[in-house]
């Protein structure tokens, strides 16, 4: 029979959990409740005056073409970062899993970008792609004869943010995929090879299928990363521009709250962002979760 811990008295478990529950209550649950509450008000400067408006903030957002543009930009960047990041990470993890000399050094070098903060990663890409003195622009000028305006062209700015975001989160994804590859059941791969399955068939039907729990986990974490953790990158590199091309939902929320001091309006955006992420996560569990196979 499995061992079960027994406490002396019913209050002891709650006393042991009290510090954790107190921290969650003060720094998580209370702010969440206040955000939902604030979304129902129209506020003056720094929230000194409030007027209850019910769902007017949400109605205004849903009727705003600019806000729908922000939602579309967020979804486009999220899809590109998630799909591109996972595909590149899996390819790199399979290369890093090869039995070659110095493999441990290569693996460490692949992981280290994740240790950087989004702001630092943003500064790195800003210096690499900045017009006039950026190293990438210099190389492009040598190859194609001219520099590209990465920060002034809306489409190129979106591409830049996507590339920087994928690079920033690459190490995180590679760690999980590499761990999964090193723990695969090699007997299944050998059996598939004996049965005549080619390299691509073995990868798709065996390797990728066995990695489905890790892929599903990374899918959820990368969606969360794309919705929330791009703030620092965008604030450093493009500040939502040019022409709001990279103005994602989390950055638009920040500007309304701390630049335009529309706290109630920003709180409503926060609620919408929260519900959108929860909805996408539940959708993933209902759809992609069906194709996740646990165990050998």
Q: What is the pLDDT of residues 92-141, one digit of tens each?
A: 998 888 887 777 787 788 888 888 888 889 999 988 988 877 888 888 88
The CATH number of the domain covering residues in 57-291: 1.10.3720.10
Q: What is the dihedral of CA 79, 144, 243, 278, to 10 degrees?
A: 10
> pTM, whole model, 2 decimals?
0.87
CA distance 176 to 93: 9
pLDDT digits (tens, 9 = 90+) for 60-84: 999 999 999 999 999 999 999 999 9
pLDDT digits (tens, 9 = 90+) for 249-271: 999 999 998 888 888 999 999 99
Residue of 202, 211, 224 lying closest to 179 (CA atoms): 211
Domain residue limits, the chain: 1-29, 57-291
- 286 or 263, greater pLDDT: 263
Any residues with CB less than 8 A from the CB of 227 and at least 6 apart, and which? 74, 78, 248, 249, 250, 273, 276, 277
Residue of 256, 252, 259 lying closest to 238 (CA atoms): 252
Residue of 235, 217, 9 lying closest to 118 (CA atoms): 235
pLDDT of residue 259: 87
Residue 8 DSSP class:
S
- 272 or 7, greater pLDDT: 272
Cβ atoms 251, 118 nearer than 8 A: no
């Amino acid at each position: 029979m499995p061992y079960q811990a027994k406490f002396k008295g019913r209050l002891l478990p709650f006393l042991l959990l009290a510090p954790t529950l107190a921290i969650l209550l003060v720094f998580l649950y209370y702010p969440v409740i206040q955000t939902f509450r604030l979304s129902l008000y129209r506020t003056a400067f720094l929230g000194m005056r409030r007027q209850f408006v019910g769902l007017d903030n949400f109605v205004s957002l849903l009727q705003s073409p600019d806000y729908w543009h922000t939602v579309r930009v967020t979804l486009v960047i999220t899809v590109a970062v998630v799909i591109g990041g996972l595909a590149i990470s899996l390819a790199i993890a399979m290369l890093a899993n090869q039995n070659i000399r110095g493999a441990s050094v290569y693996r460490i070098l692949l992981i280290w970008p994740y240790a950087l903060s989004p702001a630092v990663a943003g500064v790195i890409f800003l210096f690499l792609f900045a017009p006039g003195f950026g190293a990438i622009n210099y190389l492009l000028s040598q190859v194609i004869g001219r520099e590209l305006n990465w920060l002034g062209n809306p489409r190129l700015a979106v591409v830049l943010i996507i590339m920087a975001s994928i690079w920033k989160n690459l190490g995180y994804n590679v760690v999980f995929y590499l761990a999964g590859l090193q723990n695969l059941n090699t007997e299944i791969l050998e059996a598939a090879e004996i049965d005549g399955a080619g390299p691509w068939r073995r990868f798709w039907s065996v390797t990728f299928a066995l990695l489905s729990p890790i892929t599903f986990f990374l899918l959820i974490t990368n969606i969360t990363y794309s919705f929330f953790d791009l703030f620092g990158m965008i604030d450093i590199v493009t500040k939502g521009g040019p022409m709001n091309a990279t103005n994602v939902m989390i950055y638009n929320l920040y500007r309304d709250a701390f630049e335009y001091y529309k706290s109630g309006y920003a709180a409503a955006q926060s609620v919408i962002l929260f519900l959108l992420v929860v909805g996408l996560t539940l959708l993933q569990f209902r759809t992609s979760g069906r194709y996740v196979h646990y165990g050998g």
